[in-house]
């Protein structure tokens, strides 16, 4: 187990190193950010001054070394725009994204599993078909369009929730719903097929033989064992949520990492982009390691090895 | 007692002035003159003196009279109020919160950024300026400076308001003002402000309340430019520079409360604001709290006002504007801005548009009125020149280029007859997402231009590519690229010479033209002042337009969605100033 | 593996028939109502895309500013012309025609990036599964990471370096999605690697290349095709998200994503501008997803029976 964890940590380190290098390369290929920083009407001498200040005139190797050693210390340079260290800027935004992500997960998982299990109860029934189409709708919809429609219809016309902004229930529901639709679609399908697979197993026959109702069989027995394959896909759903967060946070004005990333990208603020990628990478690696542990714990076959 | 009455006067000046204008003044006897009599006339005299030099005497004198009348009336009104309400009210009585949805989050709250409304939303409610520009008539009004005089072509002396404190407790005086201004103008602030104002300026304290602003080269616009220079706490710059970008400290009606990154900036009223007891504050603190929320999506900003979550939505689209206007509980304010959409063809070398006939054909082929009426939703005015009527150097004799496709075809045929290959490809270039509706304006222009026989393609560029293609002087520009840039130019300084320097002068960093006569007239205008300067600029302007060296599409309006709960109207300067707003009712 | 099974399906002989005609698959698919709708919808889209010049009632770039933002079912200006069934956009261009031409761009982006990423991913997956060892380790670590990394962020990073444009978008979407094919191809390679028919080929002296391309690849075709179908849907949505964020295609190109993105500022005054292309993407992606899920069942030996039995009724 310890060896396993150490291996995972080493792997994570290598992946981080590669990501950082990619980000660095991308950063240097990108066109001159200085004009964007100090305005299109600035004089050339001023442009050179700022380039010097930002260290953009140093040799690439020097820049790379500075970049990587900085990253090791958790320092990702200072923002081109605000001239302040970028790591605190990103970390400050992290809670908002985690909050949104957790609410999304809390909405998505129970609902998806409920839908999946209901569909699995009677495969090929009308309920199953309806759930199937709903689920596929989730992975087929254009997120930003859905977000805007929810704002205009649910928030403005019906007045049920706030149009935008950061805060409690009335603020978080709409962005979380928008974000949750895609994972709901995927997880419910996954749950459905996992439960159907479980239902073929002998212990289910035993349960049925005991005289349990089909509902009890599905929701108490099959579901518990189907949880393992469902959890293994959660890692990928984290990426889906982060993907959506960039779009959804922008539309709803949600002050998270996704919005920060989009702002940083459109302002060509390379150090800030680098820092967000660093943090996002770290987040994903952490989640996956946690999931590994959860997986090990849930699966007795691995636990007792 | 006297002081308290002063406070009363001011609060009522703004909050009740309009409503009580219908009162019957003859019933009331003026018993006391509340505002110190010896101060006001002195200031007015000085203003008049300065303005005489700028030769706007008539306008100014009329205004002074109007001001006097207003003051007298207010005095009367105050007496009425005091008599009716036996209890004296405090002039600083803010309540509730005002919420404003803006598009862009600032990157810093450094005091110097207050020159731009989008660059530092709300900042001008915290920091103040020496003088303020009256956008209705171009005159200057006192703010932190109570009066001023022009020493010579490159130096203006300001007499500062006494007894004013920054909200960090430090006093406002000439020395501190100089520290702040010099910091703002220096390269320490990135030099952006200096670039923006077109040249550096320096400040120097003469004595405790006398401040000189001077430039290296003669500059007749020093006084006007001071409207863009916000004054933050000098003590902060000297002792706590590290807080400069995150904590804006000024002397103004509101103080920074909290900046929530990615979400909002909020401000709270400043009970010690000098304007609470002076009509020169031009407003009042009506809200306990003011919050600026950042929402990048135009639709969502408009939705916040519609849903009653915000009182003002900055820059809504013309269509949302109409929607908010027809919606109950909200309305929309549309106001002309200093932004002008212009067309800049390469005019040198082997470019098609080195030929004046083809330039004219290009200009005549575009139906500006149709673009304004349809795509821009009426939220613009057809432009005849680079800056709008409020700017110095605007030539009132110039009319917008007539849409005349037949004449354009004729000109093209003429050029063709001279052996010019008019079928060469023209690249119509714009930057992504800078101009509202640019994605629609460009194809419309393309079709109009092609309808008369040109061969134009549309290209949208990212900021980087656009910079490389357009931020070039003609000497560094490839000779045969037939590039026509469509872009937006904001002449905030309201001075034509500034636009010329960037986009039209022989050495301008964005200029792809060099016309000897226009250049000569411009150079002659620069050191002049007043009417002589304006005349020269108008002549140069005429020359540029006549030669079709640069084209113009429209002066853009900007729209604001406003809740009916708020009493506020946007001004020509497009600044959302908290002191100018109050709850409706 | 029995390659000479009976063509006739449905008999309860031991051992399933291994060769079923395409026609029968098709009949099976059409027997399911929703799947039939999906296929018909996709075919309609495909035909109108190929024959856009014939099908589209108007020139998609012909503007008519006097006819801007007309709601659906607006009659044409000239008598006898086709009405603007889906309305017009802010430049007075016919939305139906733009939708048909926009489909060309959106589908081309979706299909070509799926093709590029599919080829790349499958090859890498095959190599990883076949050779194992360090190659496998390297490729799979990258796959694992990219699986967990938000692909939009990666796409934006690369687009920042490349600059926006049609080919950049295709390239970017291809390189951010290769890993799903790699994972699937590797998994299947590992499974087949130890099966007797591969052993046999090896014993017969087949080269690695021959084993990979002649024996392994054909056996993976249908799952990879299904995956590809799903991916096309995802990529069309990805293109839309990139357009929204301003990093994707730029006008005057007209993709569905750009149409929604451009129409979004008119949502409260002219809802159809963004909503119609929104539905176009939604139904296309939905159809692709449904087709993929039906294909999965029909090619899965466990579920196939039900589909084909129904088809042969």
What ipTM did this prediction achieve?
0.82
* Residues A128 and A254 placed together within one structural domain of the fold: yes
**CATH 3.60.20.10 for domain C26-312:** no
- Name the minimum distance, in Å, from the CA of C55 to any CA of chain A: 26
- Name the minimum distance, in Å, from the CA of C32 to any CA of chain A: 11
Higher pLDDT, B235 or A27: B235
- Name the minimum distance, in Å, from the CA of C119 to any CA of chain A: 22
Residues of B with CB below 8 A from C91's CB? 375, 440, 443-444
- Name the minimum distance, in Å, from the CA of B555 to any CA of chain A: 20
User: What SS3 state is found at C56?
Assistant: coil
As for how many domains chain A has, the answer is 2
Q: CB distance from A250 to chain B under 8 Å?
A: yes
Domain annotation covers residue A304: no
Q: CB distance from C161 to chain B under 8 Å?
A: no
d(CA C45, CA A141): 18
Higher pLDDT, A135 or A30: A135
* Residues A12 and A107 placed together within one structural domain of the fold: no
| Statement: residue B254 has pLDDT above 90 | yes
Domain containing A18: what range? 2-75
Nearest CA in chain B to A54: B190
Site from C150, C275, C282, C300 to mutate, A interface, most A CB atoms within 10 angstroms: C150
Show me where the domains of chain C are located. Answer: 26-312
Nearest CA in chain B to C249: B460
Higher pLDDT, A232 or A101: A101
Contact B245 A82 (CB under 8 A): yes
Q: Given this model, what pLDDT does residue A42 score?
A: 61
Q: Given this model, what pLDDT does residue C140 score?
A: 84
| Statement: residue A141 has pLDDT above 80 | yes
Chains in contact with A, counting 3 or more C-beta pairs less than 8 Å apart as contact: B, C
d(CA B297, CA B263): 13
Contact A133 C161 (CB under 8 A): no
Average pLDDT over residues B232-258: 91
Write out pLDDT tens, residues B19-31: 333 333 333 333 3
Is residue B54 very low, low, confident or very high in pLDDT (cuts 50, 70, 90)?
very low
Q: CA torsion, points B38, B40, B44, B47, in degrees to nearest 10?
A: 100
Residues of A with CB below 8 A from B295's CB? 164, 253
Residues of B with CB below 8 A from A263's CB? 105
Residues of B with CB below 8 A from A255's CB? 260-263
Q: Is the bond into C252 cis (omega within 30 degrees of 0)?
A: yes
Is residue B509 very low, low, confident or very high in pLDDT (cuts 50, 70, 90)?
confident
Q: CB distance from A148 to chain C under 8 Å?
A: yes
Write out pLDDT tens, residues B550-581: 999 899 888 899 999 999 988 878 889 999 99
Q: Residues of chain B with pLDDT > 70: what percent?
A: 83
Nearest CA in chain B to A91: B261
CB atoms within 10 A of CB B19: 10
Nearest CA in chain B to A255: B262
Nearest CA in chain A to B260: A255
Which CATH number covers residue A146?
1.10.3720.10
Q: Which of A250, A266, A282 is the last residue of a domain?
A: A266
d(CA A129, CA A123): 8
Contact C289 A140 (CB under 8 A): yes
Name the phi and psi angles at A77, rounded to 5.
85, 180
Read off the tokens for C117: 């990423």
Contact A145 C264 (CB under 8 A): yes
- Name the minimum distance, in Å, from the CA of A305 to any CA of chain B: 48
Domain annotation covers residue A96: yes
When the pLDDT of each residue in chain B is averaged and rounded to a whole number, the result is 81
Chains in contact with B, counting 3 or more C-beta pairs less than 8 Å apart as contact: A, C
Phi-psi bin for C134: left (phi > 0), alpha (psi -120 to 50), beta?
A: alpha
* Residues A71 and A112 placed together within one structural domain of the fold: no
Domain annotation covers residue A157: yes
Domain annotation covers residue A21: yes
Contact B303 A93 (CB under 8 A): no
Q: CB distance from C71 to chain B under 8 Å?
A: no
Q: CB distance from C267 to chain B under 8 Å?
A: yes
Average pLDDT over residues B194-201: 78
Do the Cβ atoms of B144 and B128 come closer than 8 Å?
yes
Q: Given this model, what pLDDT does residue B56 score?
A: 36
Q: Given this model, what pLDDT does residue B175 score?
A: 93
d(CA C221, CA B363): 59
Do the Cβ atoms of C141 and A15 come closer than 8 Å?
yes
pLDDT in tens, chain C (313 residues): 344 444 444 444 444 555 566 777 777 777 777 788 888 999 998 888 888 788 778 888 777 777 788 888 777 777 667 777 788 888 888 888 889 888 888 999 999 999 999 999 999 998 888 888 888 888 887 887 777 778 888 888 888 878 778 888 999 998 888 988 998 888 888 888 778 887 888 888 788 888 888 778 887 888 888 888 888 988 999 999 888 888 888 777 788 988 888 888 888 888 888 889 999 999 999 999 888 888 877 777 666 666 555 544 3
Domain annotation covers residue A272: no
d(CA B461, CA C251): 10
Domain annotation covers residue A147: yes
Domain annotation covers residue A179: yes
Do the Cβ atoms of B570 and B333 come closer than 8 Å?
yes
* Residues A32 and A142 placed together within one structural domain of the fold: no
- Name the minimum distance, in Å, from the CA of A26 to any CA of chain C: 6
- Measured over the CA atoms of residue B169, residue B175, residue B178 and residue B184, the dihedral's sign is negative
Is residue B271 very low, low, confident or very high in pLDDT (cuts 50, 70, 90)?
very high
Q: Given this model, what pLDDT does residue A208 score?
A: 79
Q: CB distance from A17 to chain B under 8 Å?
A: no
| Statement: residue B286 has pLDDT above 70 | yes
Nearest CA in chain A to B108: A82
Domain annotation covers residue A276: no
* Residues A160 and A108 placed together within one structural domain of the fold: yes
DSSP symbol at B338: E
Please state which of the ranges A46-60, B38-52, B157-171, C253-267 shows the lowest mean pLDDT. Answer: B38-52
Name the phi and psi angles at A149, rounded to 5.
-65, -40
Q: CB distance from A30 to chain B under 8 Å?
A: yes
Higher pLDDT, A93 or A17: A93
Higher pLDDT, A25 or A35: A25
d(CA B288, CA B294): 20
Do the Cβ atoms of B427 and B457 come closer than 8 Å?
yes
Do the Cβ atoms of A282 and A225 come closer than 8 Å?
no
Nearest CA in chain A to B259: A255
> How buried is residue B28: exposed, middle or buried, by Cβ count under 10 Å (0-12/13-18/19+)?
middle
Q: CB distance from B263 to chain A under 8 Å?
A: yes
Contact A11 C141 (CB under 8 A): yes
* Residues A136 and A14 placed together within one structural domain of the fold: no
Q: Which long-range contacts (CB under 8 A, 24 or more apart) does B12-17 make?
A: B12/B74, B12/B77, B12/B78, B12/B81, B12/B91, B13/B74, B13/B279, B14/B282, B14/B283, B14/B284, B14/B582, B15/B284, B15/B286, B15/B582, B16/B77, B16/B81, B17/B70, B17/B74, B17/B77
How far is residue C263 CA from its own chain's centroid? 24
Measuring CA to CA, which residue among B188, B176, B179 is closest to residue B113?
B188
Q: Are strands B312-314 and B131-133 parallel, antiparallel or unpaired?
A: unpaired
Phi-psi bin for B27: left (phi > 0), alpha (psi -120 to 50), beta?
A: alpha
Q: Which of B245, B293, B465 sits opposite A253 (nearest CB)?
A: B293
* Residues A61 and A182 placed together within one structural domain of the fold: no
Q: CB distance from C63 to chain B under 8 Å?
A: yes
């Amino acid at each position: 187990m310890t060896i396993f964890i150490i291996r995972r940590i080493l792997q994570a380190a290598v992946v981080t190193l590669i990501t950082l290098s990619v980000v660095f390369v991308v950063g240097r290929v990108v066109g001159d950010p200085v004009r964007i920083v100090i305005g299109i009407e600035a004089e050339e001498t001023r442009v050179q001054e700022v380039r010097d200040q930002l260290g953009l005139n140093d040799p690439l190797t020097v820049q790379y070394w500075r970049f990587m050693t900085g990253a090791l210390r958790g320092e990702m340079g200072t923002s081109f725009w605000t001239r302040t260290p970028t790591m605190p800027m990103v970390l400050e935004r992290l809670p908002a994204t985690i909050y949104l992500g957790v609410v999304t997960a809390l909405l998505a998982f129970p609902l998806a599993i409920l839908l999946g299990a209901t569909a699995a109860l009677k495969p090929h029934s009308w309920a199953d078909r309806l759930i199937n189409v709903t689920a596929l709708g989730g992975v087929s919809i254009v997120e930003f369009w859905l977000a805007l429609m929810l704002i205009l219809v649910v928030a403005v016309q019906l007045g049920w929730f706030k149009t935008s902004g950061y805060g409690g229930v009335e603020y978080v529901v709409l962005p979380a719903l928008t974000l949750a639709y895609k994972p709901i679609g995927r997880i419910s399908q996954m749950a459905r097929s996992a439960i159907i697979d479980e239902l073929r197993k002998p212990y289910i026959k035993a349960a049925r033989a005991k005289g349990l109702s089909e509902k009890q069989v599905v929701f108490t027995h099959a579901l518990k064992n189907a949880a393992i394959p469902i959890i293994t896909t959660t890692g990928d759903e984290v990426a889906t949520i982060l993907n959506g967060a960039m779009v959804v946070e922008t539309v709803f004005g949600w002050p998270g990492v996704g919005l920060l990333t989009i702002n940083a990208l459109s302002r060509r603020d390379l150090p800030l982009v680098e820092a967000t990628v660093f943090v996002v990478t770290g987040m994903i690696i952490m989640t996956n390691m946690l999931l590994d542990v959860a997986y090990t714990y849930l699966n007795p076959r691995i636990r007792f090895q | 007692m006297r002081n308290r009455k002063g406070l009363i006067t001011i609060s009522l000046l703004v909050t009740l002035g309009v409503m009580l204008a219908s009162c019957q003044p003859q019933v009331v006897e003026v018993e006391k003159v509340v505002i110190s009599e010896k101060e006001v006339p002195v200031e007015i005299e000085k203003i008049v003196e300065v303005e005489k030099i700028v030769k706007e005497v008539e306008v100014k004198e009329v205004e002074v009279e109007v001001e006097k009348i207003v003051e007298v009336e207010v005095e009367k009104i105050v007496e009425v109020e005091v008599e009716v309400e036996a209890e004296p009210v405090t002039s600083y009585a803010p309540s509730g919160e005002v919420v404003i949805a803006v598009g862009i989050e600032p990157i810093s709250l450094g005091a110097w950024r207050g020159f731009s409304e989008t660059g530092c939303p709300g900042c001008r409610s915290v920091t103040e300026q020496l003088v303020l520009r009256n956008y209705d008539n171009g005159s200057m009004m006192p703010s932190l400076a109570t009066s001023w005089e022009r020493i010579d072509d490159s130096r203006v002396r300001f007499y500062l308001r006494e007894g004013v404190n920054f909200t960090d407790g430090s006093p406002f005086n000439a020395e501190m003002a100089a520290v702040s201004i010099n910091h703002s103008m220096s390269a320490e602030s990135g030099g952006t402000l200096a670039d923006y104002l077109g040249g550096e300026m320096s400040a120097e304290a003469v004595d405790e309340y006398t401040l000189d602003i001077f430039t290296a080269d003669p500059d007749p616009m020093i006084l006007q430019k001071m409207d863009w220079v916000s004054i933050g706490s000098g003590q902060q710059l000297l002792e706590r520079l590290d807080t400069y970008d995150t904590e804006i400290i000024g002397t103004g009606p509101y103080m920074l409360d909290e900046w929530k990154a990615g979400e909002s900036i909020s401000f709270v009223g400043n009970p010690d604001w000098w304007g609470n007891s002076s009509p020169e504050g031009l407003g009042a603190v009506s809200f306990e709290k003011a919050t600026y929320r950042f929402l990048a999506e135009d639709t969502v900003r408009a939705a916040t006002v519609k849903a009653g979550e915000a009182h003002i939505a900055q820059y809504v689209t013309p269509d949302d504007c109409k929607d908010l206007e027809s919606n109950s509980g909200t309305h929309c304010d549309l106001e002309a801005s200093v932004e002008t959409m212009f067309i800049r063809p390469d005019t040198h070398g082997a470019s098609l548009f080195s030929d004046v006939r083809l330039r004219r054909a290009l200009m005549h082929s575009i139906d500006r009125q149709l673009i304004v009426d349809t795509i821009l939703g009426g939220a613009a005015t057809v432009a005849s020149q680079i800056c709008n009527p409020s700017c110095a150097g605007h030539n009132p004799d110039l009319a917008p280029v007539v849409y005349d496709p037949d004449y354009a075809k004729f000109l093209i045929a003429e050029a063709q007859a001279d052996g010019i290959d008019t079928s060469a490809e023209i690249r119509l270039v714009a930057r992504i997402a800078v101009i509202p509706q640019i994605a629609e304006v460009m194809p419309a222009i393309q079709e109009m231009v092609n309808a008369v026989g040109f061969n134009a393609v549309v290209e949208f560029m990212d900021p980087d590519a656009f910079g490389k293609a357009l931020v070039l002087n003609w000497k560094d520009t490839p000779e045969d690229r037939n590039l026509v840039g469509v872009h937006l130019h904001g002449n905030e300084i309201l001075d034509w010479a500034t636009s010329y320097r960037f986009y039209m002068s022989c050495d301008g960093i964005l200029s792809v033209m060099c016309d000897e006569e226009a250049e000569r007239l411009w150079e002659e205008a620069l050191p002049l002042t007043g009417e002589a300067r304006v005349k020269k600029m108008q002549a140069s302007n005429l020359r540029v337009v006549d030669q079709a060296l640069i084209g113009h599409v429209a002066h853009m309006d900007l729209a604001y969605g406003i809740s009916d709960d708020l009493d506020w109207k946007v001004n020509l300067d497009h600044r959302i100033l908290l002191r100018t707003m109050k709850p409706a009712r | 593996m029995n390659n000479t099974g009976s063509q006739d399906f449905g008999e309860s002989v031991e051992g399933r028939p291994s060769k079923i005609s395409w026609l029968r698959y098709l009949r099976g698919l059409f027997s399911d109502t929703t799947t039939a709708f999906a296929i018909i919808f996709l075919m309609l889209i495909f035909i109108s895309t190929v024959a856009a010049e014939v099908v589209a009632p108007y020139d998609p770039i012909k503007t008519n500013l006097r006819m801007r933002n007309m709601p659906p079912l607006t009659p044409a200006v000239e008598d006898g012309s086709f009405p603007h069934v889906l309305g017009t956009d802010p430049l007075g261009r016919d939305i139906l025609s733009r939708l048909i031409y926009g489909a060309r761009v959106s589908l081309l982006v979706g299909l070509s990036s799926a093709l590029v990423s599919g080829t790349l991913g499958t090859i890498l997956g095959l190599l990883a599964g076949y050779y194992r060892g360090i190659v496998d380790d390297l490729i799979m670590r990258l796959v694992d990471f990219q699986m967990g990394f938000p692909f939009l962020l990666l796409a934006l990073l690369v687009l920042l370096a490349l600059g926006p444009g049609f080919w950049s978008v295709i390239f970017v979407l291809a390189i951010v999605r290769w890993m799903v094919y790699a994972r699937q191809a590797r998994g299947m390679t590992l499974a087949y690697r130890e099966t007797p028919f591969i052993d046999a080929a090896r014993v017969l002296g087949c080269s690695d290349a021959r084993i990979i391309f002649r024996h392994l690849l054909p056996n993976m075709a249908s799952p990879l095709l299904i995956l590809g179908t799903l991916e096309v849907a995802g990529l069309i949505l990805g293109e839309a998200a990139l357009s929204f964020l301003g990093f994707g295609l730029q006008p005057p190109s007209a993709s569905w994503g750009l149409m929604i993105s451009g129409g979004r500022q008119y949502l409260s005054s002219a809802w159809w501008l963004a909503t119609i292309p929104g539905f176009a993407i939604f139904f296309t992606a939905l159809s692709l997803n449904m087709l993929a899920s039906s294909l999965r069942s029909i090619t899965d030996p466990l579920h196939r029976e039900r589909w084909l039995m129904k088809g042969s009724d």
